[in-house]
Chain A
Amino acid sequence: MSQQTVLNATHRALGAKMVDFGGWDMPISYGSQIEEHHAVRRDAGMFDVSHMTVVDLRGARTREFLRHLVANSVDKLKVAGKALYTCMLNAEGGVIDDLIVYYLDEEYFRLVVNAATRDKDLAWISAQAQAYGVSVTERPELAMIAVQGPNARAKVQSLLSPETAAKAAKIGKFVACEGDGLFIARTGYTGEDGYEIVVPQEQAVELWNRLQAAGVVPAGLGARDTLRLEAGMNLYGQDMDESVSPYEAALGWTVALDEGRDFIGRAVLEQQKAQGAPRQLVGVVMDDKGVLRHGQRVTSANGDGEILSGTFSPTLGKSIAFVRIPAGEPGQLQVDIRGKLVPLRVVKFPFVRDGKPCDGI
């Protein structure tokens, strides 16, 4: 039996098509997922992301614990409310999950981890936390709504008290503030500006309805997936997992090999940094017609690879994907679509940022 967020009945009342996602019964779209995608790129859309897991860490040694737990450096977090995107690795340098760490105060940090990896994440974090005397508390009573798009922030602010609206208007990207009983972070998974709002369950339906009345368009997981891939953002389980290091998932920018910090997986990453990782992730565009999909075979100069995340990009009107192939100059990539080899163009990603195609796409 799949789990339901507090907004489940609201989605159904809106006519959403529901699917199982990581054990949760979630809306994939409410009508046209392409329309929902464009609403986020052009105006404002909202996603129920209450299935994601909020975990609070408390204790005097929390920062020290996080220095050990994750591959990015929490020492970059100096101001209360600041957020950090990072991978959590196993001893072999494989990615257990990707997550966001919020610094609230020296004895209080908040993590937001993926829904599908909840159980193993909580077990891993709790096991590692013991030695540091850090308490690990899941917050299932909190719901989460992501409001994204060029007009998202203004629409959210219009619903807040004047004090909270002022705070929310002031925070920079990747910073959170609190007010009106909400935890409001200027983060997201779409490549657009906006907020991710953590809200107590009993207030979530009302907040959703007020956002909708303010003109924010409900959007499902389908649009969320095309938006995040256009934005060049990885999806756990598709673009990386425990058999893949951050360097093999184009997440090297999230790895901090700062001196003297002994984080889990560091030895393997040092080795890969020195010798090169055996595989690489590249972004591709297919100029021919068709749709790139997870698992399709890709040929390269150095051997075969495969499509990781692949989709039709509504903003570009053609297909885009992440591909994992052996290391080295890839040469001309080709994808095997139903037995036909179709050329791919390797590009820098993100593919789309702030509503527009990036240069060279």
Chain B
Amino acid sequence: MKEIPGDLKFMKSHEWARVEDDGTVTIGISDHAQGLLGDLVYVELPNVGDTLEVGAGCAVVESVKAASDVYAPVSGEVIKVNSALADSPETINEDAYGDGWIVVVKPSNLQEDMDNLLDPDAYAEQVDSEDE
């Protein structure tokens, strides 16, 4: 498995969130999640301006095998979506923590939402126990 960047925090359901220098939050799915899904063929994105609520569905990723909801790790307003994924959803397979990001939000309850997420070690531990 790929090394997990230390500045990410995770939901149990495999989404990651990263607080950027400007206070926005970038959201994606983990490398482990893309591995479980297999080749991605379609990503349904929210619209810029949509309001996300923590724990609610904010995007859908579909592989040949399955469709999976992506849940928002933080509440906030969508300020950017990765529209390149429309033509090349496989970017998530190739670079889940980088070019495969899904949305950027302006968070509305940052501190509390981030505190509820798992740090990389705790997430890695969860993934390991799933594999057993």
Interface residues of A (CB under 8 A from B): 17, 28-29, 32-34, 222, 226, 289-291, 293, 311-312, 314, 338
Residues from chain A with a CB closer than 8 A to the CB of B60 are: 338
A-B contact pairs, 6 of them (CB 8 A): A17-B38, A29-B38, A33-B65, A222-B38, A291-B42, A293-B67
A contacts with B: majority SS: mixed
Tell me which of A17, A32, A291, A314 contacts B62 (CB under 8 A). Answer: A291
Residues from chain A with a CB closer than 8 A to the CB of B48 are: none
Q: Are B42 and A311 in contact (CB under 8 A)?
A: no
Tell me which of A33, A289, A291 contacts B67 (CB under 8 A). Answer: A291
Q: Are A33 and B42 in contact (CB under 8 A)?
A: no
Q: Report B49 CB to chain A, min CB distance, Å.
A: 19
Residues from chain B with a CB closer than 8 A to the CB of A17 are: 38
Q: Report A300 CB to chain B, min CB distance, Å.
A: 23
Q: Are A226 and B86 in contact (CB under 8 A)?
A: no
Distance of A160 Cα from B94 Cα, bound (Å): 40
Q: Are B38 and A312 in contact (CB under 8 A)?
A: no
Q: Are B42 and A289 in contact (CB under 8 A)?
A: yes
A222, A312, A314 interface centre (most CB from chain B within 10 Å): A312
Q: Does B53 contact A (CB under 8 A)?
A: no
Which chain B residue shows the least CB distance to A37?
Answer: B64
Which chain A residue shows the least CB distance to B57?
Answer: A338
Which chain A residue shows the least CB distance to B93?
Answer: A32
Q: Report B87 CB to chain A, min CB distance, Å.
A: 10
Distance of A39 Cα from B94 Cα, bound (Å): 20
Please report the total number of B residues contacting A with Cβ < 8 Å.
12
18 new A-B contacts, CB < 8 A, other than A32-B39, A290-B42, A290-B44, are: A28-B38, A32-B93, A33-B38, A33-B64, A33-B65, A34-B39, A34-B41, A34-B64, A226-B64, A289-B86, A291-B41, A291-B42, A291-B62, A293-B67, A312-B41, A312-B42, A312-B64, A338-B60
A-B complex: 4 closest residue pairs judged by Cβ atoms: A312-B41, A34-B39, A291-B62, A312-B64
Residues from chain B with a CB closer than 8 A to the CB of A314 are: 64
Distance of A222 Cα from B65 Cα, bound (Å): 8
Q: Are A311 and B64 in contact (CB under 8 A)?
A: yes
Q: Are A33 and B39 in contact (CB under 8 A)?
A: yes
Q: Are A290 and B64 in contact (CB under 8 A)?
A: no
Q: Report B53 CB to chain A, min CB distance, Å.
A: 18
Q: Report B43 CB to chain A, min CB distance, Å.
A: 9
Distance of A226 Cα from B64 Cα, bound (Å): 9
Residues from chain B with a CB closer than 8 A to the CB of A226 are: 64
Which chain A residue shows the least CB distance to B89?
Answer: A289
Distance of A29 Cα from B62 Cα, bound (Å): 17
Residues from chain B with a CB closer than 8 A to the CB of A29 are: 38
- Those of B35-94 within 8 Å (CB) of chain A: 38-39, 41-42, 44, 60, 62, 64-65, 67, 86, 93
Distance of A34 Cα from B64 Cα, bound (Å): 8
Q: Are B62 and A290 in contact (CB under 8 A)?
A: yes
Residues from chain A with a CB closer than 8 A to the CB of B42 are: 289-291, 312
